[in-house]
């Protein structure tokens, strides 16, 4: 109890050490995201098609946005700015989820199934962003549930996905989802440095999805 009170005195949510660790981990993520954006577009242009380039651009951009918003939120010390960027941080999670789905739905699945799933995930993302912008605390349970549900919504299209995506891509896709989901445990518990650990799980999930998309989704022609 004393530790919790002490932590609140330092920061409404995290200690200075936790904020530094969180800023560094997702700052690295932002830099890797920029590299991922560039590489994804290049791969799609060289070995894919126009829709692949568009999908890669959306995917990479949402990754950069999410990691940048998270880094700024944890790095800022101004109370009002921190409050605003906390909303940006949580909203950008929806963008990354929808952005990650984009290559799988438009390049791999394609057709009615791909477009329907694309629409559902992006509609959920927009709804979540609106709710978080209105009152993040009030809709906290909805946000957490929608993160997980939309994140695993790909299961409903697993059969056509497995018919069109190599096993390596499937394994990396599932591994990424597992990392994200396990990380939520550390996001939810209130122990010292749990949040930075959550950041590491997010990084691991992003890396798995990046290689799944780069090596198995975007190249419609053989490398």
Q: What is the pLDDT of residue 221?
A: 72
Tokens 């929608």 label which residue? 146
Determine how many CB atoms are found less than 10 A away from the CB of residue 211: 17
From the options 1.10.287, 1.10.357, 2.60.120, 1.20.1070, give the CATH code of 2-217: 1.20.1070
Question: CA nearest 141: which of 152, 124, 128, 156?
Answer: 128
Determine how many CB atoms are found less than 10 A away from the CB of residue 171: 13
- Mean pLDDT to the nearest integer, 107-131: 96
By CB neighbour count within 10 A (0-12 exposed, 13-18 middle, 19+ buried), where does 116 fall?
A: middle
Tokens 């791909």 label which residue? 114
Q: Which of 1-15, 131-145, 151-165 has the lowest mean pLDDT?
A: 1-15
DSSP character string of 111-156: HHHHHHHHHHHHHHHHHHHHHHHHHTTTTHHHHHHHHHHHHTGGGG
Q: How far is CA 90 from CA 66, 112, 210, in A?
A: 8, 30, 21
- Residue 9 scores a pLDDT above 60: no
Burial 189-208 (b: 16+ CB within 10 A, else e): eeeeebbbbbbbbbbbbbbb
- Summarised one tens digit per residue, pLDDT across range 52-65 is 999 999 999 999 99
> Residue 199: which residues within 8 A CB-CB, separation 6 or more?
21, 22, 25, 26, 29, 70
Could you tell me the two tokens for 140? 């906290």
- Summarised one tens digit per residue, pLDDT across range 84-107 is 999 999 999 999 999 999 999 999
Tokens 């995201």 label which residue? 33
Query: What's the CA gap between 139 and 213, in Å, rounded?
Result: 31
- Mean pLDDT to the nearest integer, 184-201: 91
Could you tell me the two tokens for 102? 């984009």
Query: What's the CA gap between 152 and 161, in Å, rounded?
Result: 13
- Coil, strand or helix at 33: helix
Rg (CA), the chain: 18
Question: CA nearest 63: which of 99, 27, 87?
Answer: 99
Model confidence, pTM: 0.91
Contact at 8 Å (CB) between 218 and 52?
Answer: yes
Share of the chain above pLDDT 90, in %: 82
Q: What is the pLDDT of residue 207?
A: 98
Query: What's the CA gap between 43 and 59, in Å, rounded?
Result: 13
């Amino acid at each position: 109890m004393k530790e919790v009170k002490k932590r609140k005195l330092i920061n409404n949510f995290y200690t200075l050490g936790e904020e530094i660790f969180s800023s560094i981990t997702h700052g690295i993520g932002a830099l890797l995201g920029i590299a991922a954006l560039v590489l994804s577009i290049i791969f799609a242009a060289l070995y894919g098609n126009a829709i692949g380039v568009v999908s890669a651009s959306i995917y990479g951009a949402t990754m950069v946005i999410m990691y940048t918003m998270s880094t700024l939120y944890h790095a800022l010390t101004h109370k009002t700015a921190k409050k605003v960027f906390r909303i940006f941080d949580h909203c950008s999670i929806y963008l990354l989820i929808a952005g990650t789905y984009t290559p799988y739905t438009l390049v791999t699945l394609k057709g009615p199934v791909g477009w329907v799933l694309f629409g559902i995930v992006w509609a959920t993302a927009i709804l979540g962003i609106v709710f978080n912008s209105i009152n993040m605390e009030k809709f906290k349970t909805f946000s957490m549930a929608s993160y997980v549900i939309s994140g695993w919504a790909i299961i409903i299209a697993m059969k056509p996905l497995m018919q069109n995506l190599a096993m390596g891509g499937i394994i990396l896709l599932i591994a990424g989802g597992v990392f994200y989901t396990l990380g939520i445990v550390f996001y939810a518990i209130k122990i010292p440095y749990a949040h930075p650990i959550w950041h590491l799980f997010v990084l691991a999930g992003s890396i798995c999805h990046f290689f799944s998309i780069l090596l198995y989704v975007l190249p419609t022609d053989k490398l």
